[in-house]
């Protein structure tokens, strides 16, 4: 029988204020492991590459029985220092790399996204040859509608014009925030979503919609999780950009809710 929570990973961006030093990172990984998470995603870990090498980070992970199943790294590094990025991922034991979005200097336009796709193809091919998959993480601006654009939106350009080697690290919260049904988007991305991001959307009296721990908001998880499974999701990365209470408590709450759903 699979271990409880065996498909869940903690996106360390959630805990970025607690990964600024080597000591902080070691303590944070220990706390994440005690919650029951078997894996993490390295993103916004300030000490990585400065105070802590990838090899040292791998030892910290191994000490806690954790896997690094994904990263978020800068596009410039992937494009200009591809070999170094390959080595970093090998030392982390990680075979999935992603960017947090198409760089702003390409422009949030159909032409800009097509230029990025063209620039990305040789980089993605080199990563693939080294055994590393590459993905793009969305926010809501990828769903801007462009009058006269055959694909309709920037995300559709990535889905329909990106090759199958461009994986889609779908952030389901931002899809819903943009007014789309994330289940419908997942149905279009079968086999291209090995890692996705989850957070919930709560409405509070003082401010309206806010990001919340999973299960504490209004997203339709009873239908979303089966759609994720059908699309071939392997890792569910819990990410909470902002927390209205202690982020470790939020991370624990999300884990408990999702694990109870059988993930």
CB-side neighbour CA atoms (13 Å) of 7: 22
Does residue 163 sit within a domain?
yes
Domain containing 26: what range?
8-260
Condensed to tens digits (0 to 9), the pLDDT of residues 207-236 reads 999 999 999 999 999 999 999 999 999 999
Residue 246 belongs to some domain of the structure: yes
What's the pLDDT score for residue 133? 98
Q: Is residue 3 part of a domain?
A: no
Other beta carbons less than 10 A from residue 81's beta carbon: 14
Residue whose entry in the numeric block shows the structure tokens 């992970």:
61
Please state the pTM of the whole predicted model: 0.97
Residue 164 within a domain: yes
How many independent structural domains does the chain possess? 1
Separation of alpha carbons 145 and 154, rounded Å: 8
Domain membership of residue 157 (yes or no) is yes
Q: Is residue 182 part of a domain?
A: yes
Is 1 within a domain? no
Q: What's phi and psi for 156, nearest 5 deg?
A: -65, -35
Region label for 224, one of left (φ > 0), alpha (ψ between -120 and 50) or beta (otherwise) = alpha
Radius of gyration of the chain (CA): 18
Mean pLDDT (10-residue bins), the chain, 263 residues: 92 98 98 98 97 98 98 98 98 98 97 98 98 98 95 97 97 98 98 98 95 98 98 98 98 98 96
Query: Does 36 map to a domain?
Result: yes
Tokens (6 digits) for 121: 């193809």
Distance (Å, rounded) from C-alpha 112 to C-alpha 31? 41
pLDDT confidence of residue 2 = 79
Work out the number of other CB atoms within 10 angstroms of the CB of residue 15. Answer: 25
Domain with residue 77: its CATH number is 3.20.20.150
Collapsing DSSP to helix, strand or coil, 154 comes out as: helix
């Amino acid at each position: 029988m699979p271990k409880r929570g065996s498909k869940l990973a903690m996106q360390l961006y959630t805990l970025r204020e607690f990964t600024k030093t080597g000591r902080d990172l070691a303590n944070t990984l220990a706390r994440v492991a005690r919650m029951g998470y078997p894996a993490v995603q390295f993103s916004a870990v300030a000490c990585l590459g400065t105070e802590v090498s990838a090899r040292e980070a791998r030892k910290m992970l191994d000490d806690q029985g954790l896997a690094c199943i994904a990263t978020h790294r800068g596009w410039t590094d992937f494009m200009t220092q591809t070999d170094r990025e390959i080595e970093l991922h090998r030392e982390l034991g990680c075979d999935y790399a992603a960017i947090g979005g198409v760089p702003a200097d390409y422009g949030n336009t159909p032409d800009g996204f097509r230029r990025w796709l063209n620039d990305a193809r040789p980089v993605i091919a080199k990563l693939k040859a080294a055994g590393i998959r590459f993905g793009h993480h969305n926010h809501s601006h990828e769903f801007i509608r462009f009058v006269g654009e055959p694909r309709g939106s920037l995300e559709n350009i990535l889905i329909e014009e990106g090759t199958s080697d461009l994986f889609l690290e779908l952030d389901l919260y931002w899809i819903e925030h943009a007014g789309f049904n994330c289940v419908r988007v997942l149905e279009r991305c079968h086999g291209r979503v090995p890692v996705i991001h989850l957070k919930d959307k709560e409405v509070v009296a003082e401010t309206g919609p806010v990001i919340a721990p999973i299960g504490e908001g209004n997203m339709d998880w009873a239908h979303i999780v089966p759609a994720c499974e059908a699309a071939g999701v392997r890792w569910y990365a819990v990410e909470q950009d902002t927390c209205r209470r202690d982020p470790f408590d939020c991370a624990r709450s999300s884990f408990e809710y999702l694990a109870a759903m059988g993930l």
